[in-house]
Every structure is written in structure tokens, then in C-alpha cells.
């Protein structure tokens, strides 16, 4: 039964997913503060015309509200993420970071049509940035419509061109494309350049779970939660791995913790089923 949950879990995105690096933590890192999860940046689009509308406007830097919203998305506090964006929501048509963050909020709210529209707008505003394409692929997976693999392939193509957090987004795209060995190699490179980013061992741990390397998955997710205990999906995937290792105590603890943090997540019903089976 758990294998069925694992297959479903690998199809459904990580919601936090994808769990993007946050702009607020990136700013703290630059100031020498507490290390956290750095944010998806935006890259100015190429100059020149093209089409009746001309080139998109230059992408501005992410306002601090985006960093706060992204942190809440990692914790699956969707309402708080939306509230954090209220002050800058009017920038969503001209700022890629705002558009992407709002799209991710809509994705967690399960408003998939609106989510994909916002994320497509983010890709237009920052056509050289892989991050919006990763989130767009996630939304396509959730909605069971659209070309998710195409979005992930585009993200991988852009990430191979370099840029801030390029290895992170390349590794995530490779994971979504089921290129697990390549994803591990890329994410290890990302960790070497950004050891304080808790989302990197998280993504490595999830990749190991998808590979059915249960012990390795638990080890990486342990490291994740030692660095940042607020990453909701780390408990879910560690719980699945713990079940395969016969660690019932860890399984129960992790599924209960996941449901406390993310009761409305797409995997919540699966987590409840696993928990019920473990308590019989």
C-alpha cells in the first residue's frame, strides 16, 4: 500500500515544494545574519522588440514581502503567505518575483487555473530565470493538465546557463524529470556552494526516497530538519522512508507533524491513510 502512496507522491509535486529559496533569507545571508533558504532571483529579459507588445519590462528586484511569503509557503502557511503579498500584489504584472510567489500561493490554494496563469506571466517577465518554470511545472502536475515535463525541461535548459541558484533549480528540474542520478550530482554541487540552504539536503533526501534508497533518504531529511524544522514536506517524505525501514515510531511522529503543518496539502489524505495503517 505504501508503494502506491510513494508512486502518487512522486507524481504530485512537493508543494513547497518545492519549497523555493526565499528572498528574505538571501538578504539575511548577504548581511551576515542567520543562514536560511535563498530566494529565486529574477533575470532582466533580453532587450529588443518582438511582437506587438514589445519586450517585457525589466524585472525588478524582489520586494521583502516576497521573501516573507516564500517562507510561509515552505511552512505551508498559505493564508499567511497570501497576507504577506497583499501590499505588493499590484506589482504582479511587472515583477516576476511577485508574480511567481502569487502563483505559488494560488497553487497551494488549489486554484490551479489562476496559478498557472500567474506563473506563465512570471516566465514572461523573467524569461531567463529557471525558477518560474519549475513552479509552473509543479502547478501543471497538481492540475493534471499542461506540459509539466516541458516546463521542467525549459527550467533545466535555462539553469545550465548559470546564474544565481542555478544548480539548485537544475537539480530540482532533473529530479522532476526522473533523472535521479544527475539530480543528486547537481544538488551536491549546489550544497558545496551554499551549505546553509536547508532545501538542498531536502531535495537530495526526496530524490533518495524516489530512488527507494530509504536510509539515505532519512539521513538527508534528518539533516534538513536539523537545519530548519519548519519544512513541512520533509516530515512527509521521512515518514514514508521510515515506514520502509520498519521505524514505526518515526513514521507516526512524522506523519502527525506533517498533518499539523499542512492539513490541506495534496498529500494530506495519503498521510492520514498511512498513519491509520501504522496505528492498527
User: What does the pLDDT look like over 209-268, one tens digit per residue?
Assistant: 999 999 999 999 999 999 999 999 999 999 999 999 999 999 999 999 999 999 999 999
pLDDT band with cut points at 50, 70 and 90 for residue 280? confident
| Prediction pTM value | 0.81
Kindly report which listed range (41-50, 87-96, 120-129, 177-186) carries the lowest average pLDDT score.
41-50
Q: What pLDDT shows up at residue 163?
A: 84
Whether the pLDDT of residue 118 is over 50: the answer is: yes
- Which residue has 532571483 as its cell numbers? 41
Q: Residue 280's closest CA among 239, 251, 240?
A: 251
Per-residue pLDDT averaged across 10-20, rounded?
44
Per-residue pLDDT averaged across 43-69, rounded?
55
**Domain range enclosing 192:** 2-278
Residue with more model confidence, 192 or 14:
192
Mean pLDDT value across the chain: 84
Residues in the chain: 280
Q: Residue 124's closest CA among 57, 48, 39?
A: 57
Which CATH number does the domain housing residue 158 bear?
A: 1.25.40.10
What is the domain count for the chain?
A: 1
pLDDT in tens, 134-178: 999 999 999 999 999 999 999 999 999 988 899 999 999 999 999
Whether the pLDDT of residue 37 is over 90: the answer is: no
- DSSP 8-state symbol, 51: S
User: What's the rounded Cα separation, in Å, for the pair 276 and 280?
Assistant: 7
User: What's the rounded Cα separation, in Å, for the pair 20 and 37?
Assistant: 8
Q: What pLDDT shows up at residue 188?
A: 98
Q: What grid cell was written down for 78?
A: 498559505
Amino acid at each position: 500500500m505504501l508503494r502506491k502512496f510513494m508512486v502518487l507522491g512522486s507524481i504530485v509535486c512537493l508543494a513547497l515544494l518545492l519549497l523555493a529559496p526565499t528572498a528574505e533569507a538571501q538578504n539575511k545571508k548577504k548581511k551576515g545574519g542567520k543562514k536560511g533558504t535563498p530566494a529565486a532571483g529574477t533575470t532582466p529579459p533580453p532587450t529588443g522588440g518582438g511582437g506587438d507588445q514589445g519586450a517585457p519590462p525589466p524585472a525588478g528586484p524582489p520586494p521583502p514581502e516576497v521573501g516573507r511569503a516564500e517562507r510561509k509557503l515552505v511552512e505551508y502557511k498559505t493564508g499567511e503567505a497570501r497576507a504577506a503579498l497583499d501590499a505588493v500584489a499590484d506589482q504582479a504584472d511587472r515583477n516576476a518575483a511577485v508574480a511567481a510567489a502569487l502563483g505559488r500561493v494560488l497553487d497551494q490554494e488549489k486554484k490551479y487555473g489562476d496559478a498557472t496563469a500567474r506563473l506563465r506571466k512570471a516566465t514572461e517577465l523573467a524569461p531567463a530565470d529557471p525558477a518560474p518554470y519549475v513552479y509552473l511545472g509543479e502547478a501543471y502536475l497538481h492540475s493534471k493538465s499542461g506540459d509539466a515535463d516541458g516546463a521542467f525541461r525549459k527550467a533545466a535548459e535555462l539553469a545550465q546557463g548559470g546564474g544565481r541558484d542555478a544548480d539548485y533549480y537544475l537539480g530540482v528540474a532533473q529530479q522532476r524529470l526522473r533523472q535521479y542520478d544527475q539530480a543528486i550530482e547537481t544538488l551536491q554541487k549546489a550544497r558545496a556552494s551554499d551549505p546553509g540552504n536547508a532545501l538542498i539536503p531536502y531535495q537530495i533526501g526526496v530524490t533518495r526516497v524516489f530512488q527507494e534508497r530509504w536510509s539515505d533518504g532519512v539521513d538527508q531529511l534528518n539533516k534538513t530538519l536539523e537545519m530548519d524544522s519548519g519544512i513541512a514536506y520533509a516530515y512527509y517524505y521521512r515518514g514514508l522512508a521510515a515506514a520502509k525501514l520498519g521505524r514505526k515510531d518515526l513514521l507516526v511522529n512524522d506523519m502527525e507533524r506533517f498533518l499539523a503543518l499542512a492539513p490541506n496539502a495534496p498529500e494530506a489524505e495519503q498521510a492520514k491513510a498511512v498513519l491509520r495503517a501504522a496505528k492498527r
